[in-house]
Structure 1
């Protein structure tokens, strides 16, 4: 059981961890060249939440059903699940579309020579993306508080 708890905690850190520094990569004041590099790094980081997040949910469910946690009516269990789902919705439903718009803008032939300051449209997508990352990070902190304190 201790190994399963260890696996759950490590996979949760790996799964939610990238949201804590993604907003650093997606900072607002970047040049087009910096943003191109940021999006490449972001694509690599997406692997961690997919693997770690999936493993955290599976091990969490195993721990729930094998442990003495009662029912899903416990605030910390229900809250943790809701927070995890909200983080996924924010990243998949809001960050990814803005990232896709930025990628399309950067890859457009007419923008291939742009290396300096971002124009309004691209900067707007980046600002939205950054704000959503901050929201996901805040929810991630709450998730870990629920998991640690089990209120």
Structure 2
């Protein structure tokens, strides 16, 4: 059983690196775009990286819960419970917070004619970036809790 747990820890850490790592740069990718062509390309890259983030995030949740089931005392540890709560908040932010802001941004990216990036895009993407940065902060707190295990 200890070997299975060690494998889960390995998958968990590996998933955090491969899944969460790209998540921290997603909001930076479109910022360097100077034209609509570059912006569209940036969003294609962002979409592909987001797939890695979703796979990594799913593996993180599954392995974290499996480790908790193997060692139920984890569900009594404050850092573990707070990490799970923050993870579920971050997970819920996708459809309930980020998506409503992302839809109009993506509409501009997909439908705008010409090479000049419209001012409306910058206004909308600024709001979206605020929430993406907040979600990244949640993930940083989760990572810190997993490393330090303060309570």
Alignment TM-score, normalising by the size of structure 1: 0.84
Please give the residue correspondences for 1:70-85 in structure 2 after superposition, counting only pairs within 5 Å.
70=73, 72-85=75-88
Moved over 3 A (4+): 28-31
Contact 1:32 1:116 in 2 (8 A): yes
Contact 2:105 2:124 in 1 (8 A): yes
Equivalent position of 1:16 in the other structure: 20
- Tell me by how many angstroms 1:28 deviates: 8.3
Q: Deviations over 1:91-145 (max 9, x none)?
A: 333323322212212322xx222x12422x2212110121112111111110101
1:91 partnered with 2:94: yes
Change (3 A) 1:15 1:28: same
RMSD, aligned CA: 2.1
1:118 partnered with 2:118: yes
Equivalent position of 2:109 in the other structure: 106
Contact 1:15 1:53 in 2 (8 A): yes
* Partner Cα separation in structure 1 for residue 108 and residue 147 of structure 2: 42
Change (3 A) 1:133 1:30: farther
- Tell me by how many angstroms 1:79 deviates: 0.9
Q: How many residues align?
A: 146
Please give the residue correspondences for 1:16-95 in structure 2 after superposition, counting only pairs within 5 Å.
16-27=20-31, 30-67=34-71, 70=73, 72-95=75-98
Unaligned runs of 5+ in 1: none
Contact 1:94 1:132 in 2 (8 A): yes
Change (3 A) 1:35 1:29: closer
Which one has more relative contact order, counting CA pairs under 8 Å at least 6 apart?
1
Q: Deviations over 1:66-87 (max 9, x none)?
A: 12x5153421111111111122
